[in-house]
């Protein structure tokens, strides 16, 4: 037990600079949120917008699924419903578009918070804390960098869909023993998760720079 305690103390001592940096970042983040409470309102606004978009997506999918024709059946009161052969394609396209919109809303919210934090940082100095400009974040998000946000959210949507499909296939490939399909789908899902995290990291840095 004493050896474990000494090992922890030694680790804290070796990484004390990193620990001090982490504490300073947490302190600066707390100061930023205390000085810029309206950023919380921005996140709540985009969260509400995401719920509205999700509801519209569900209603749209139900409306597309109801497309079709009723024809007279064998009996006098019997009717046969025939679905639209293109309904499945329309539902897939609609689902992708709404997922793209939801991803774009999430990225826009993050981008506005990033710009607000940057304006707060560069307006601060040793004597005083600065002021964050949330309006600048909205201006940059919708007037200057809207294309970058749309492209980044599009790439993330495609990768997320592929990763989800791979995980669904991996979940269905059950059974004991050596299953080649299970190994392939598990490997593919793992690779897509790594790619997703890498692209997410890359897009965040692209937004920042």
Cα–Cα–Cα angle for 53, 59, 60, nearest 5°?
85
For 83, the 3-state DSSP assignment is: strand
pTM, rounded to two decimals:
0.75
- Segment 18-39 mean pLDDT: 74
pLDDT digits (tens, 9 = 90+) for 129-174: 777 788 888 988 898 888 889 998 999 899 888 888 888 877 765 5
Domain boundaries, the chain: 1-35, 38-144, 146-209
Better-scored residue on pLDDT, 128 or 42: 42
- Are 137 and 112 in contact by the 8 Å Cβ rule? The answer is yes
Contacts of 152 (CB under 8 A, 6+ apart): 107, 203, 206, 207
Residue 72 has phi, psi (to 5 degrees) of: -70, 135
- Are 140 and 88 in contact by the 8 Å Cβ rule? The answer is no
Better-scored residue on pLDDT, 74 or 108: 108
* Longest alpha-carbon distance in the chain: 88
- Segment 107-136 mean pLDDT: 81
């Amino acid at each position: 037990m004493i050896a474990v305690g000494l090992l922890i103390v030694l680790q804290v001592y070796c990484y004390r600079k990193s620990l001090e940096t982490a504490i300073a970042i947490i302190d600066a983040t707390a100061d930023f949120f205390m000085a810029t409470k309206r950023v919380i309102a921005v996140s709540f606004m985009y969260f509400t917008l995401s719920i509205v978009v999700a509801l519209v997506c569900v209603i749209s999918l139900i409306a597309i699924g109801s497309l079709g024709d009723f024809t007279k059946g064998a009996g006098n009161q019997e009717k046969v419903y025939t679905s639209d052969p293109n309904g499945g394609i329309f539902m897939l396209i609609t689902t992708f578009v709404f997922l793209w919109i939801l991803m774009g809303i999430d990225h826009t919210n993050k981008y506005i918070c990033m710009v607000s934090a940057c304006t707060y940082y560069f307006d601060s100095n040793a004597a005083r804390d600065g002021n964050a400009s949330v309006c600048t974040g909205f201006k940059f998000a919708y007037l200057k960098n809207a294309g970058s946000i749309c492209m980044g959210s599009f790439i993330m949507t495609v990768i997320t869909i592929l990763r989800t499909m791979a995980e669904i296939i991996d979940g269905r490939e059950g059974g004991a023993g050596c299953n080649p399909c299970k190994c392939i789908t598990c490997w593919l899902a793992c690779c897509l998760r790594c790619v997703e995290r890498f692209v997410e990291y890359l897009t965040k840095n692209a937004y920042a720079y």
